[in-house]
Chain A
Amino acid sequence: MLRTDRTLTTRNTSNVVNFRRKDGASDALRRIALEHEPALRRFVGARLSAHADRADQEDVVQETFLRVARQEGVEEKLSRSLDSVRSYLFSIATNVIRDNYRKAVTRQKHDDLTRHVPTALGVENSAEEIVSTQEQLGFVKAAIMKLRPDCRDAFVLNRFEGLSYREVADTMNVSVSMVEKHIMRALSDIRRRVDQGLVDR
């Protein structure tokens, strides 16, 4: 039957519409939920890709909004332009996905059942590959440092400053499509250099 208790467990509060009940940030949260939930769901779906259970997708969406609600100064963050709010939501969702993945890896190591763990991406990575993440990070950093200056600016502004492509474009005084090209080029160069680094070691 219909449950009427309102125990505030994580699960029960994690739906976006429940932000109605909270004071303060509720209006801003309700608005962003209305405006961004479909995009966020799409983003999470594409990140988890076709293998993941739809319930996982829903969990990540819920957890993202929950984390946003807990953030300090959330009102200020959410009063920015629509695309930067979205960019911010995506970065939080990415963290949620990665945290879930790390938890799965830890569990897997703990269980030590197999050398293979299902990743958040839906593929399998060998434990060896996971261990090399720290090493990989070194190569990624080196690769970013070596990027062509315009590609590097676009990439770091988007990745580390959380700017949307539109904001990056305005900051760099170029068009959005140029920023998109820079981002693609940056991804390509980082991949090439990291692969090279891993081969050369």
Chain B
Amino acid sequence: MTERADDSVADSSNQAERRAQWFVMRLYSGDMTASDESELYRWLAEDPGHRRAYEHLVQLRDVSGDLAGDKDIAALTRNALGARTRTTFDRRWVVGLAAAVFLVAITGFLAKVLVTSDGAQIFETALGDRQTFALRDGSSVTLNSGSRILVDFDSLGRRILLDFGEIFLEVAKDPERTLTIRAGDHVVAALGTKFSVHLAGDRLEIAVAAGRVAVTDDNIRYPRQTEFLARFEAGSLILNAGSVATFEQHRQTVKEDSIEEVERLQSWRSGRVRFEDQRLMEVISEVNRYSPVKVLIEDSTIADLRISAVLNLDQVEMAGQVELLLSSLEDIHPIKVVRHPDRFVLIADRS
């Protein structure tokens, strides 16, 4: 811009200007990364002049928005849009999608890891699949069959969003950054711990194997940093190791000192789901979380039968495992399994 390279003051101020332009340009790009962000903060802190330059540009760009109704500006915009054609629309859609999210890894056949353009990660498992992932902070997360989470860690906090399904977490200690999980209407804060969170529709179940967690449905102010944690805990339900909490339609139940139930609920981690004296309808709804073939109960008289059984998860042929379990039910209980290609139907065996 300036030809006077010997003028070092003007030069450094120009440099700051250009840097500010770059940051503002990046800010509105939609794909600012976490490192861009920390670089911005570092640069702003370096010199008050940097902050002035940056904020001046942001402010000008903001103010320009008030020209949205201006007829001259509208004419300019129409003119600029003139070049647009139908074909570019389709191309834009495809390219935009490809640019924003790209596939980083396919682990096994079924689990997917997506990295969004802003550095957050999305982990997803298909039906019948189970995967453990190491997270950047040293924590590990295991996704049960048919689950999806978004992991967003930065210098301010560790946030996991459980979109659906079930996860088991072993949380690495980090006093600076609380790890929180949002699931449905609740926020769970890990206070250094091992626990599982299972979200199925409106029903949320939390089982704590070690340490403590805090749960709240006041999900506006979830703790991102330690300073917020005390405030968060004050308005929360604290669950100690061995607790199982269930939240469903405004009702909450908490069972304490139930380490056996915690272990049973988390048995999927070792490749087995154990059922102990549970109602058939509960068992079947659990089986359906893993089964590629839907299992239906078409006879209410058998729905409340008490069942103990084991479903093996580590077999390649999940449908075969489900069938094995159903056959064992047929042997012991007055149940008949009607096998269709796309579903298994349970009816009462009246013979």
Contacts and interface: CB of A to CB of B under 8 A. Distances in A.
Contact of A38 (B73, B116, B236): B116
Interface in B150-169: 150, 152, 154, 156, 161, 163
Contacts, number: 223
B118 A121 contact: no
Contacts of B66: 137
Contact of B152 (A15, A38, A95, A153): A38
Interface in A9-60: 11-12, 14-15, 17-18, 20, 30, 34-35, 37-39, 41-43, 45-47, 49-50, 54-55, 58
Interface in B7-23: 17-18, 21-23
B55 A164 contact: no
A45 B81 CA distance: 31
A15 B236 CA distance: 17
Given A50-B44, A156-B77, A171 B51 contact: no
A80 B94 CA distance: 11
A90 B118 CA distance: 14
B236 A137 contact: no
A39 B66 CA distance: 25
A133 to B, nearest CB: 6
A55 B316 CA distance: 48
Interface in A132-165: 133, 136-137, 140-141, 144-145, 152-153, 156-161, 164-165
Nearest to A15: B219
Interface residues of B, number: 90
Nearest to A81: B96
A98 B51 CA distance: 18
Contact of B101 (A17, A82, A161): A82
A68 interface: no
Contacts of B24: 187
Contact of A184 (B25, B79, B84, B228): B25
Interface in B28-81: 28-32, 34, 37, 40-41, 44-45, 51-52, 54-68, 70, 72-74, 76-77, 79-81
A188 interface: yes
Contacts of B70: 141
B216 interface: yes
Given A4-B252, A49-B55, A165-B29, A133 B221 contact: no
Q: Which one of A98, A156, A194 has the greatest number of beta carbons of chain B within 10 Å? A: A156
A43 to B, nearest CB: 7
Contact of B73 (A3, A18, A144): A144
Interface stretch (B85-93, B189-197, B289-297, B318-326): B85-93
B106 interface: no
Contacts of B58: 47, 121
Nearest to A171: B84
A164 B31 CA distance: 10
Contacts of B184: 17, 20
B96 A187 contact: no
A43 B37 CA distance: 9
A87 to B, nearest CB: 6
Contacts of A183: 25, 28
Given A39-B118, A171-B80, A2 B88 contact: no
A54 B220 CA distance: 12
A131 B187 CA distance: 43
A42 B55 contact: no
A160 B60 contact: no
A70 interface: no
Task: Report the interface size class on chain A.
Answer: 35 or more
Main secondary structure of the interface of A (DSSP, over half): helix
Contacts of B88: 170-171, 173
B217 interface: yes
A3 B250 CA distance: 9
A184 B20 CA distance: 9
B236 A42 contact: no
Nearest to A183: B25
Given A2-B237, A34-B122, A34-B163, A42 B99 contact: no
Contact of B72 (A17, A35, A145, A153): A145
B163 to A, nearest CB: 6
**Sorted from nearest, which 8 A-B pairs have the closest CB atoms?**
A81-B96, A82-B100, A153-B80, A86-B30, A39-B118, A38-B120, A184-B21, A38-B152
Given A39-B116, A161-B81, 6 more contacts: A17-B184, A17-B185, A38-B116, A50-B44, A81-B96, A187-B61
26 contacts: A1-B235, A2-B236, A3-B217, A39-B31, A39-B117, A39-B118, A46-B37, A49-B51, A50-B41, A54-B224, A80-B93, A81-B96, A87-B28, A98-B65, A123-B55, A140-B67, A153-B80, A156-B73, A157-B80, A157-B81, A164-B30, A166-B96, A167-B96, A170-B95, A187-B57, A190-B64
